[in-house]
């Protein structure tokens, strides 16, 4: 295979899940992997772009375990900026796919679609007409985010999803995939095709007074209760079933008249294709997370 893959994120070069993903992509030998990431962590940057200052690009040699030194680029802007600069200025050939992640922390629910820098990078790829997908891993409170080895099973699963997308493409009507991994993955981890829940947290604002008597504020959130009514959502899959959640997303947010029969046919076909991906992952889960060869049908 000789595909051109653009790998990006919103956490920068030193994130352990990101570095594991880089290794995972190189292991499956997809072709050329171009790494372009924000210079600094840009979590929750959303679909922002930089307009008030110039952008700068740096090229750096990075040691990738088992593969020697590889070039990486940093951009002094948002995840969306990183994708734009990669496609317009850094890559000689237009990428076949944009992959964003693996993010430190899950990105589930509709709320995160609009705030996540990881998803924003994939969205920018989609807007540019490139097949795109975002990957994230939940990090429970108190659990470590290093070393790299901890996230190799997640990375290998992500790399297989990327390979599947490169070979088959996104189904008609699906603009991107949002994939979330549980922190711990085993041979028994289920894979679910899900829809977006609305929110994971109920937000609140705390007011405090600084030493000079001026008020300041902290934004926070409490987890919403998850019930049987949430079954089928990314929230339920990740928090209750401890499953890999694959959420196909369409960006058609406008209200318009549609041919219902044709629309339903497209939805059924798309879900059938994504479910075939889920079955492929479950059927080969042990080999994938161990980094073993898989006999492709």
pLDDT tens digit sequence for 280-289 = 999 999 999 9
Q: For position 216, what pLDDT does the model report?
A: 97
CA–CA separation, 98 and 85 (whole Å): 13
Q: Looking at the predicted structure, is the pLDDT value of residue 253 above 80?
A: no
Task: Determine the average pLDDT of the residues in 123-137.
Answer: 97
User: In the predicted model, what is the mean pLDDT of the chain?
Assistant: 94
Per domain, the residue ranges of the chain are 3-197+231-290
Is 62 in contact with 97 (CB distance < 8 Å)? no
Query: In the predicted model, is pLDDT for residue 277 greater than 90?
Result: yes
Tell me which H or E stretch contains 131.
strand 131-137
pLDDT tens per residue across span 192-245: 999 999 999 998 999 999 999 999 999 988 999 999 999 999 999 999 999 999
For helices 260-283 and 152-168, angle between their N-to-C axes, nearest 10 degrees: 140
**pLDDT tens digit string along 35-64?**
999 998 887 777 888 888 999 999 999 999
Question: Which CATH number is associated with domain 3-197+231-290?
Answer: 3.40.1210.10
Distance separating the N- and C-terminal Cα atoms of the chain: 16
- Which tens digits make up the pLDDT trace of 146-187? 999 999 999 999 999 999 999 999 999 999 999 999 999 999
Q: Is the pLDDT of residue 296 over 80?
A: no
Whether residue 1 is predicted with pLDDT greater than 80 in this model: the reply is no
Q: Determine the pLDDT at residue 46.
A: 79
Output the pTM of the full model. 0.94
pLDDT at residue number 238: 98
- The yes-or-no verdict on residue 297 having pLDDT over 60 is no
Question: 269: pLDDT confidence band, cut at 50, 70 and 90?
Answer: very high
CA nearest neighbour of 125 among 77, 59, 79, 194: 79
């Amino acid at each position: 295979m000789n595909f051109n893959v653009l790998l990006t994120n919103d956490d920068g070069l030193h994130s352990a899940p990101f570095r594991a993903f880089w290794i995972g992509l190189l292991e499956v030998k997809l072709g050329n992997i171009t790494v372009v990431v924000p210079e600094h962590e840009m979590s929750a940057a959303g679909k922002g772009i930089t307009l008030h200052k110039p952008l700068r690009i740096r090229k750096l040699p990075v040691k990738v375990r088992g593969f020697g030194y590889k070039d990486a680029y940093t951009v002094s802007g948002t995840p969306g900026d990183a994708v734009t600069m990669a496609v317009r200025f850094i890559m000689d050939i237009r990428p076949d796919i944009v992959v964003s992640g693996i993010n430190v922390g899950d990105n589930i629910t509709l709320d995160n679609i609009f705030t996540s820098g990881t998803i924003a990078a994939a969205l920018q790829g989609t807007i540019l007409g490139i097949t795109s997908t975002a990957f994230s891993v939940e990090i429970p409170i108190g659990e470590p985010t290093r070393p790299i080895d901890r996230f190799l099973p997640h990375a290998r699963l992500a790399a297989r999803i990327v390979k599947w997308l490169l070979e088959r493409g996104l189904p008609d009507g699906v603009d991107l995939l949002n994939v979330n991994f549980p922190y711990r993955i085993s041979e028994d981890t289920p894979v679910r095709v899900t829809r977006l829940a609305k929110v994971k947290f109920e937000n609140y604002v705390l007011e405090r007074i600084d030493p000079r008597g001026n008020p300041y504020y902290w934004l926070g959130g409490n987890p919403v209760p998850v019930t049987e009514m949430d079954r089928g959502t990314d929230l339920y899959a990740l928090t209750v079933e401890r499953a890999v959640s694959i959420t196909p997303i369409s960006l058609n947010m406008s209200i318009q008249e549609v041919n219902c029969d044709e629309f339903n046919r497209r939805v059924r076909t798309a879900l059938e294709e994504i479910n075939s991906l889920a079955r492929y992952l479950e059927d080969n889960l042990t080999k994938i997370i161990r980094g073993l060869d898989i006999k492709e049908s």
